[in-house]
Amino acid sequence: MADENTPVAAAPAAKPAAAKPPEKAKVVAPTYREFPTIPALKLDAMVESNPYVAAAGHNEAIGFPGTLVDGWEQKAVAKMGELLGKYRSLRVYMDACVHCGACTDKCHYFIGTGDPKNMPVARQDLMRSVYRRYFTLPGKLFPKLVGARDMSKDVLDDWFRYYNQCSECRRCSVFCPYGIDTAEVTMAAKEIMHSVGHGHKYVNEIIGKVHKIGNNLGLPGPALENTLEGLEEDVLEDTGAAVKYPLDMQGAEVLLVTPSADFFAEPHVDSLIGYGKVFHAAGISWTLSSKASEAGNFGMFIGNYEQMQKIAMRVREAALELGVKRIVVGECGHAWRVAYAFWNTLTGIGAGANDPFAIQLQKQLDPNYKQPSHICEVTWDLIQAGRLKFNKEANDHRIVTFHDSCNVARGSRMGEYAGGQFDIPRNIIRAVANHYVDMSEATTREKTFCCGGGGGLLTDELLDLRVKGALPRMEALNEIVQDKGVNFMATICAICKAQFTKVLPYYGFKMSMVGGVHQLVSTAIVLNSEQ
Amino acid sequence: MSLLFALLFYGATLILVGGVAYRIYEYARTPAPLKIPTTPAPTTTGGVALRMFREVVFFESLFKSNLWIWALGWLFHGALALVLLRHLRYFTEPVNFIIAFIQPFGMYAGFAMAAGLAGLWARRLLVERIRYISTPSDHLMLALLLGIAITGLAMKFLMHTDVVAVKSFFLGLMVFEINPLPAHPGLYLHLGMVALLMIVFPVSKLLHAPGVFFSPTRNQVDNPRETRHLAPWAAKFEAKN
């Protein structure tokens, strides 16, 4: 079993010297398991994990009560009743679980922490116990018999603690015989907590920024313009090609909506450079939008339909204003889930509508393309059509692997067939690089492990959780680093990139090991410098 | 005693049928406002039907998840299905030839059912993770099912009861006649536990049976870009925008 107290330097036996000392003494990477055994239960191992409660200002700015309201117990139960009537998933999943235990060893946070409340079924039961108490006859009559509990401060504290230890990655839902998706339960729990004034600071602060400014990082239009001009200069200097990174360009064919981290963060920006080069090389006119300068949608993380819709509406409005024909989404996992699976519902970005609201936009969009498209779909289509040329040797210093991001893998699709979301990014990598290796198949495709930072948990106060939650992915990575010399892990998610940049050093890897698929594209693409 | 059991079974049947019908109505009327199939998911309705068939008949996801639980669970459910079919002979006259044909298999299925249940219970007691998530009702449910299996097997192999009279009792119930039920403690236990199981069905985890068909992660077609999917309560927000 993993020994929590092993110093970080000893964790990955292979590279002891490379390990960076952790910033806080208590945050250490768990040791790799010699065999992928299931950890023994460590009761309350993560009970000290304390996500910051949102301040009144952050809650109120996005329309929630500032602090825990009077009579919140009854109000929380009433909200649960409301959600049971609005979401079939929650309704069915509260009833259907038989406690078979199939999911118990599937969560990366359980594997990394051993805390039994991080087993998906136990996490669901935090809510199911309250559901049984107030909404089922046996729970009303014999609460002890069926494990029913009153809504109390202790329960609320457990909810806040452990629903903020779920990255909504849906890995458990792959393995559940009834398809019970803990993410649905976590989202409902967060929605209930928000409705009584008990939000998570990190997420609510960010949602406030999107509503106010247009993106998660709070970057105003002029700052974006500056950055993009800088990128144009850099690319011109590097390649001699005048690649444009347009902002708010009226009448462009493509509106690119990308996570705002792409504008500033490393290694994210390298992928943004790559998208621009792809459009440039293919001769497609495109633009970014200052209004829709965020693909991410933290409304999903808190399970709040109205917030999610309000955030997504910015994209619809920008598309209508700019008159674009296509909407393309950059490398971001949960953003792609929202875009692919929810945008048509929320905003009419898609096809097949017969209502005026959606038709208004859909008649403007080009029906020859999937709306929205993922940037990987765009690039792969262009590669297949022979419209992009690559110098693959430019990536020869890299031995690449691909980390499937959870929301892309289990909540969306690319291309024409089920599973295209796995093949298309890999196809692109193989088209632009000579050395590609997959990680263990128990950790890829729909069985992929979350990076440990998804679902609105990418915040410093949860660093300990994030480092531990990365364990299964780090084990799989370490295996091919040792065996195949892999030195680059490509991914198509802004959160994965930020999370790995932060936690890789705890496992003795360099933070620069992680990067985007379009970073690889950017390295190898051949540009016509006369364009 | 015959009257008591007659009333018990009328009541239990009403609760089972009415309760499950009400649950199904609840599941069906509750909208699924967003497309949330666990992907990769079928892109056509036919594909979804096939996915659901594999899930319900072969427990596909459980197979991917845990071979022990799958083997024991599948053994139990398969055996239970055979046993239930075998019991149709108590409710039909003449007995359909298929039901007549499976009688010997159904008999041995009783042992398989008990073995599956015992195995699942052993896991519940011995595997730390599953012990942690188990509630008293989880154990009671297994006790009830195992009790039904054991009393049934006991009446077949150890202390026979007058099955002809039992059949006459149930055929009678179906036309609202109360025929004498053999006075047999094993039979009383067996039938009492069956009735209890029927009664708790609509308020317990046994709802996984209808529930699986309504699970949005399994029953939705993966076509959100091609068709607009809108729940009535969500459509109202568009008016505001």
Interior angle at CA A467, CA A461 and CA A468, nearest 5: 110
Give the model confidence (pLDDT) of B71-105 as tens digits.
999 999 999 999 999 999 999 999 999 999 999 99
What is the largest distance, in Å, between two alpha-carbon atoms of chain A? 79
Task: Name every chain B residue with its beta carbon within 8 A of the beta carbon of A179.
Answer: 38, 55, 61, 212, 215-218
* ipTM score of complex: 0.96
Burial A335-358 (b: 16+ CB within 10 A, else e): bbbbbbbbbbbbbbbbbebeeebb
Closest alpha carbon within chain B to A178: B212
Confidence of residue B61 (pLDDT cuts 50, 70, 90): very high
Q: Hey, is the C-beta of B33 within 8 angstroms of any chain A C-beta?
A: yes
Q: What share of chain A is helix, strand, coil (3-state, %, to 5)?
A: 50, 5, 45
Residue B191, pLDDT score: 98
User: What is the average pLDDT across A371-390?
Assistant: 98
| Mean pLDDT, rounded, for A373-396 | 98
Q: Which of the four pLDDT bands, split at 50, 70 and 90, describes residue B238?
A: confident
B76 lies in some domain: yes
Radius of gyration of chain B (CA): 22
pLDDT of residue B239: 64
Contact yes or no for A267/A501 (Cβ under 8 A): yes
Residue with tokens 């046993």: B83
Q: What's the pLDDT band for A438 if we cut at 50, 70, 90? A: very high
Q: Is B123 on the interface with A (CB under 8 A)?
A: yes
Contacting B residues, span 73-112, partner chain A, CB-CB under 8 Å = 73
Query: Per-residue pLDDT tens for A280-323?
Result: 999 999 999 999 999 999 999 999 999 999 999 999 999 999 99
Domain count, chain B: 1
Chain A interface, mutation test: which of B65, B72, B120, B222, most A Cβ atoms within 10 Å?
Answer: B65
**Per-residue pLDDT averaged across A273-284, rounded?**
98
| Angle of CA points B62, B65, B71, to nearest 5° | 55
% residues pLDDT > 70 (chain B):
99
- Tell whether B152 is covered by a domain: yes
Query: Could you tell me which residues are beta bridge partners of residue A53?
Result: A200
What's residue B39's pLDDT?
97
Residue B153 and residue B149: Cα distance in Å, rounded? Answer: 6
Confidence of residue A263 (pLDDT cuts 50, 70, 90): very high
Q: Which residues pair with A374 in a beta bridge?
A: A329
Tell me how crowded residue A224 is: count the other CB atoms within 10 A of its CB. 23
In whole angstroms, what is the distance from residue B61 CA to residue B40 CA? Answer: 13
- Mean pLDDT computed over A396-421: 98
Residue A530 has pLDDT above 70, yes or no: no
pLDDT at A37: 81
Q: Which residues contact A126 (CB under 8 A, 6 or more apart)?
A: A117, A155, A158, A159, A162, A163, A189
Interval B169-190 mean pLDDT: 96
| Residues A42-76: tens digit of each pLDDT | 999 999 999 999 999 999 999 999 999 999 999 99
A and B: number of Cβ contacts within 8 A: 234
Residue of A43, A82, A91 to mutate, interface with B, max B Cβ within 10 Å: A91
- The whole-number pLDDT of residue B240 equals 55
Cis amide prior to B136 (ω within 30 degrees): no
Asked if residue B22 belongs to a domain, the reply is no
Classify residue B68: in a domain, yes or no: yes
Question: Are the C-beta atoms of residues A224 and A247 closer than 8 Å to each other?
Answer: yes
> Nearest Cβ partner of A89 from B26, B36, B225?
B36
pLDDT at residue B68 tops 80: yes
Is B111 within the bounds of a domain?
yes
Write the pLDDT tens digit of every residue in A121-130.
999 999 999 9
Å between B147 CA and nearest CA of chain A: 19
Instruction: Report the top-level CATH class of A36-199.
Output: mainly alpha
Q: Give chain B's mean pLDDT.
A: 96
Instruction: Tell me if B78 is assigned to some domain.
Output: yes
Residue B39 at interface with chain A, using a CB cutoff of 8 Å: yes
Sequence letter at residue B227: T
Chain B residues lying within 8 Å of A95, measured CB to CB: 23, 205, 207-208, 211
Contact at CB, A342 and B27, closer than 8 angstroms: no
pLDDT confidence band for A34 (50 / 70 / 90): confident
Predicted pLDDT of residue A36: 73
Q: Over chain A, what is the mean pLDDT?
A: 94
Q: Would the pLDDT of B18 be above 60?
A: yes
pLDDT at A25 (0 to 100): 54
Asked if the structure places residue B199 within a domain, the reply is no
Q: Is B18 on the interface with A (CB under 8 A)?
A: no
- Report the C-alpha gap between A275 and A281 in whole angstroms: 10
Asked if residue A180 has pLDDT above 80, the reply is: yes
What's residue A14's pLDDT?
40
pLDDT of residue B2: 93
Average pLDDT over residues B157-164: 94
What DSSP element (H or E) covers A93?
helix A88-96
Residue A16 in this model has a pLDDT that exceeds 50: no
Q: Which pLDDT score, from 0 to 100, does residue A15 have? A: 39
Of the candidates B41, B225, B237, which has its C-beta nearest A371's C-beta? B225
Partner A contacted by B59 (CB < 8 A): yes
CA distance A403 to A499: 13
Q: Give the pLDDT band of residue A92 (cuts 50, 70, 90).
A: very high
Residues A114 and A39: beta-carbon distance below 8 Å: yes
Of B52, B167, B69, B222, the residue nearest A179 (C-alpha): B52
Per-residue pLDDT tens for A313-368? 999 999 999 999 999 999 999 999 999 999 999 999 999 999 999 999 999 999 99
Short-list A331, A197, A196, CA closest to A274: A331
The yes-or-no verdict on residue A22 having pLDDT over 50 is: no
Q: What is the pLDDT of residues A441-496, one digit of tens each?
A: 999 999 999 999 999 999 999 999 999 999 999 999 999 999 999 999 999 999 99
Range of the structural domain that residue B74 is part of = 43-174+210-216
pLDDT digits (tens, 9 = 90+) for A216-262: 999 999 999 999 999 999 999 999 999 999 999 999 999 999 999 99
The dihedral region occupied by A16, where left means phi > 0, alpha psi between -120 and 50, and beta the remainder, is alpha
Can you give the length of chain B in residues? 241
B92 CA to chain A: closest CA distance, Å?
32
B115 in a structural domain: yes
State how far residue A97 is from chain B, nearest Cα, in angstroms.
Answer: 6
Residue A13 has pLDDT above 50, yes or no: no
Asked whether the beta carbons of residue B216 and residue A137 sit closer than 8 angstroms, the reply is: no
Asked whether residue B138 carries a pLDDT value surpassing 50, the answer given is yes
The string of pLDDT tens digits covering residues B188-206 is 999 999 999 999 999 999 9
Token reading at A55: 């301040």
- Residue A441 is predicted with a pLDDT of 96
Which pLDDT belongs to residue B236? Answer: 84
Structure confidence at residue A528 as a pLDDT band (50, 70, 90): confident
Query: Residue B35 in contact with residue B229, Cβ under 8 Å?
Result: yes
